[in-house]
Amino acid sequence: MDEFEKSKNQGTAPIPPKGNPYSCPDCSGSGLLAAVSPPAANKEFPHIAIIGGGIGGIALAIACLHRGIPFTLYERDKDFNSRSQGYGLTLQQASKAVQGLGIFSLKEGVISTRHLVHTPEGKVIAEWGTRKWLQSDIKTSSKRTNVHIARQSLRLALLEELGGNHQIKWGHQLVDFKEGETEGVELNFHVNGKIKKAKADLVVGADGIRSSVRRLLIGEDTAPLRYLGCIVILGICPLSVLQDLNSPLLDSATVFQTANGNERIYIMPYASDSVMWQLSFPMSEKEAKTLSAKGPQALKEEACRRIEWHDPIPQILSSTEEIYISGYPVYDRELLQPKLLEKSGPVTLIGDAAHPMSPFKGQGANQALLDALSLARSIFKGCRPLSDWRKTGIRKSALVEFESEMLERSAVKVRDSAEAAQFLHTEIVLHESDAPRRWFGGKEH
Ligand SMILES: Cc1cc2nc3c(=O)[nH]c(=O)nc-3n(C[C@H](O)[C@H](O)[C@H](O)COP(=O)(O)OP(=O)(O)OC[C@H]3O[C@@H](n4cnc5c(N)ncnc54)[C@H](O)[C@@H]3O)c2cc1C
């Protein structure tokens, strides 16, 4: 394939090999062997300070735990529930990655089998998903399922796999760090109004879109937050209050979206007994910040005023309680260039800290989970006992390879998510075709 691409697609295209239809009998493809307890931490590996106990940070801690890599996980929040973190995620390619983290079933996860796109009047202009494909007998991979789960339910499942709450140092906000005079990194945290010091061999910024590790490493002026021209308003509505509608769209297995070329609403199962809606539309950054700051009541009024569309959308919006409504302007950042990290020594980034993206492709958490597994595997391989990583340096031993894989894999998702923020709010979304809404290089497809 490399040769074919280098020759600018001359000659016959190679046929990609078929995936192995049988799972490994020992690990079912997860790469992990069942054990009563995780291996003891091996001090020959570097000690990792993970900053941020969100999706990516906890996943990295689990992947280190499974490999005997010592770590400390720091989170600025005081406890698991200290902020409202209410929105749902869709696990796409990362449903496989969670198995690599030892999680073989997500009990709170809901699988969708049908995806519909409507006009505001309720006419279906696109349908896809296993329900349609199986009916029309089109061959498709049965392995590709989308799992919908509340972010906090996924985070809780990860925390359980890690061994519980005490595995996180809550209430630790990273303030700064510097490379130690001889070796390692010295870190300062704000803890209960005091500064607390810590040390590590490697620092991983898993501290989200407004990452402090990233700011300390490359500054805020390099690839600052980039406004993507729209606002999203989110809400979670219990199905019990919508029962009388008897809508087939509310069967806990259907995802549907409706758009008019400006506003777009996307509704998916949040849990087996509730749905999450995400309304988005173009707005100036200033207006979006003002509306977001006005709070849930103003956001709900704006949503109900703009969307008087087909059933059950108006009923869902009006039945959503204000405590379950939030809204914010959408940002990402320009792609991180690998050379910016070249001089970062034993410090790296994962998840939104490295490559924040708009939520319109549902890829942020998926990429954060893949980053976590990839980094732990690189450390395990490059810094194994007797590898001399102290002399060679962690960057050369593990980080260069990891960052190049991570940045290449996520770049396309950042770009696609930014494009989706534009075209989902144009007439392109109303194109009739049974496939996810896409934009191919400046031309409708
Ligand atoms: C509405 C919405 C819908 C989305 N839908 C999807 C979806 O369907 N699929 C998908 O894959 N992704 C989705 N995403 C994106 C996804 O939520 C993020 O990409 C993902 O959570 C990123 O994980 P992370 O670990 O990098 O950061 P986060 O999960 O944001 O975690 C960062 C953590 O770091 C902590 N922290 C920050 N600063 C410090 C500090 N100085 N010291 C210590 N701790 C600190 C924070 O408190 C936080 O807990 C969605 C996002 C939104 C907003």
Model confidence pLDDT, tens digit, residues 320-376:
999 999 999 999 999 999 999 998 999 999 999 999 999 999 999 999 999 999 999
Residue with CA nearest ligand 1 atom 26: 351
Averaged pLDDT for residues 79-84: 82
Ligand 1 center–CA 209 separation, angstroms: 7
Q: Do the beta carbons of residue 281 and residue 425 sit within 8 Å?
A: yes
Ligand 1 in reach of 55 Cβ (< 6 A): yes
Backbone φ and ψ of 378, nearest 5°: -65, -40
pLDDT at position 434 over 80: no
77 lines ligand 1 (CB under 6 A): yes
- Following CA atoms 43, 48, 49, 51 in sequence, which dihedral angle do they give, to the nearest 10 degrees? -150
Q: Whose CA is nearest to atom 49 of ligand 1?
A: 54
pLDDT value for 443 = 39
Q: What is the rounded radius of gyration, in angstroms, for the C-alpha atoms of the chain?
A: 23
Q: Give the pLDDT confidence score for residue 145 in this predicted structure.
A: 75
CA–CA gap between residue 142 and residue 426 (Å, rounded): 32
Residue to substitute in 58, 72, 76 for testing ligand 1 pocket (most ligand atoms within 8 angstroms of CB) = 76
Q: What per-residue confidence (pLDDT) applies to 134?
A: 67
Cα dihedral sign for 423, 429, 434, 436? Answer: positive
pLDDT reported for residue 85? 62
Ligand 1 nearest-atom number relative to CA 367 = 11
For ligand 1, whether the C-beta of 129 sits within 6 Å is no
Cβ–ligand 1 contact at 395 (below 6 Å)? no
Q: Answer yes or no: is the C-beta of 285 below 6 A from any ligand 1 atom.
A: no
The whole-number average pLDDT for the span 17-24 is 76
How far is C-alpha 205 from the chain's CA centre?
15
- Please choose from 50, 51, 55 the residue to mutate so as to test ligand 1's pocket, defined by most ligand atoms within 8 A of CB: 55
pLDDT at 48 over 70: yes
Identify the bridge partners of residue 91 per DSSP, sorted by sequence position.
Answer: 147
Residue 176 has pLDDT above 70, yes or no: yes
- List the structure tokens of 156: 């809780």
Q: Mean pLDDT throughout 398-421?
A: 96
Question: Do residues 241 and 320 make contact, with C-beta atoms less than 8 angstroms apart?
Answer: no
Lowest mean pLDDT among 40-54, 59-73, 129-143, 365-379: 129-143
- Residue 86: per-residue pLDDT: 74
Alpha-carbon distance of 177 to 199, in angstroms, equals 9
23 vs 27, which has greater pLDDT?
Answer: 27
CA of 56 to the centre of ligand 1 (A): 8
pLDDT category at 4 given cuts 50, 70, 90 is confident
* Ligand 1 in reach of 212 Cβ (< 6 A): yes
Share of the chain above pLDDT 70, in %: 95
Each residue of 134-160: pLDDT tens digit? Answer: 655 444 444 567 899 999 999 999 999
Q: How far, in Å, from the CA of 251 to the mean position of ligand 1?
A: 28
pLDDT at 439: 53
Helix (H) or strand (E) holding 237: strand 226-238
Higher pLDDT, 131 or 68: 68
Task: For residue 442, give Cα distances in angstroms to 354, 422, 439, 445.
Answer: 27, 12, 7, 9
Give percent helix, percent strand, percent coil of the chain, each to the nearest 5.
35, 25, 40
Please determine, for residue 180, whether its predicted confidence score (pLDDT) is greater than 90. no
Q: Which helix (H) or strand (E) holds 291?
A: helix 285-294
The overall average pLDDT reported for the chain is 91
More confident residue, 202 or 87: 202
- Bigger pLDDT: 183 vs 421: 421
Query: What would the two tokens of residue 242 be?
Result: 């919508």
Identify the residue whose C-alpha is closest to ligand 1 atom 4.
Answer: 359
Question: SS3 of 188, please?
Answer: strand
The pLDDT value recorded for residue 84 is 66
Q: Is residue 54 lining ligand 1, measured as CB closer than 6 Å? A: yes
Residues 270-312: pLDDT tens digits? Answer: 999 999 999 999 999 999 999 999 999 999 999 999 999 999 9
pLDDT in tens, 217-238: 999 999 999 999 999 999 999 9
